[in-house]
Amino acid sequence: MKRAHSLARLNGRILHVFSQRTTTALRSALPLRLALPHLEPVLALNVTKEVSKDTLVIVRARELTADYPSAWTDVLPQLLQATKEIDRMFLARVGTFPVGIVIRYEEIAPIRARRMKLLYDAALKILTARDGDRRLRGAMQATFSREEFGVLLHELFRLYAEETRSLSRSVRLPRLLVPLREFIAQELFNVMLRVARPLAHEIAAAAYRPEVPVVHK
């Protein structure tokens, strides 16, 4: 379970960096800059929601490696139901801000399922890797090449952006910005995609950089 929690913490740090880079990019993009005071609190809470959801997926993958493999068709309904409780907590926190939001499950559920499946499969591979020292970094490198890891991160980011676009369509905006709702949602998605690719390559490069041995004098 130690490696699973380490993987969940790493995933959480990656998602927070992705959210921070996105927010920085949004501040220079019109009309998103005008909508940012209404979007930014939601985006900040959303990343916490996503970290909790991903942790649930990773821990479930670890539980199954310790038990026995289950078909994804059996695991998915359990995970989707559990994420609805995380959504309820998210909505309760959003309710303290002057914004309103509705989660459109008919639109979000297929996107969420694809992202969870991708993360679940990757976590299973990493958690069952037979590297020599059993460290997370070694397990990742034994499971994916640097290029494969970068592609994995980019696809996870892309699906995260798709779900966020759907969520942003439900954020209550000032009357003047309401006609631009769809445009703002699409531009938010475009900004997230522009951030995603270079960040995925940057993280993959850092994760696969050779470690410099410590020389004791």
Angle at 8 between CA 16 and CA 135, to 5 degrees: 120
- Per the CB < 8 A criterion, the answer to whether 15 and 54 are in contact is yes
**d(C-alpha 63, C-alpha 90), whole Å:** 25
Give residue 73's pLDDT: 84
| CA-based R_g, the chain, Å | 19
Query: What CA–CA distances, in Å, run from 93 to 71, 73, 190, 194?
Result: 34, 31, 26, 29
**d(C-alpha 210, C-alpha 73), whole Å:** 39
**Could you tell me which residues come within 8 angstroms of residue 168 by beta carbon, excluding any fewer than 6 positions away?**
39, 42, 184, 185, 188
Give residue 134's pLDDT: 61
**d(C-alpha 19, C-alpha 44), whole Å:** 7
**d(C-alpha 201, C-alpha 17), whole Å:** 13
What pTM, to 2 d.p., does this model score? 0.88
Question: pLDDT digit of tens for each residue in the chain (217 aa)?
Answer: 678 899 999 999 999 999 999 999 988 876 677 777 878 888 889 999 999 999 999 998 888 766 666 678 889 999 999 999 999 999 888 876 666 787 889 999 999 999 999 999 999 999 888 654 568 888 899 899 999 999 999 999 999 999 999 988 877 777 777 777 788 889 999 999 999 999 999 999 999 887 644 444 4
Which long-range contacts link 79-85 to residues 24+ away (Cβ below 8 Å)? 79/116, 79/120, 80/109, 80/112, 80/113, 80/116, 82/56, 83/53, 83/56, 83/112, 83/116
Give residue 185's pLDDT: 87
Domain range summary for the chain, segments of one domain joined by + = 2-207
Give residue 152's pLDDT: 97
Question: For the purposes of burial, counting CB atoms within 10 Å of the CB of 43, is it exposed (0-12), middle (13-18) or buried (19 or more)?
Answer: buried
| Dihedral of alpha carbons 164, 169, 174, 177, sign | positive
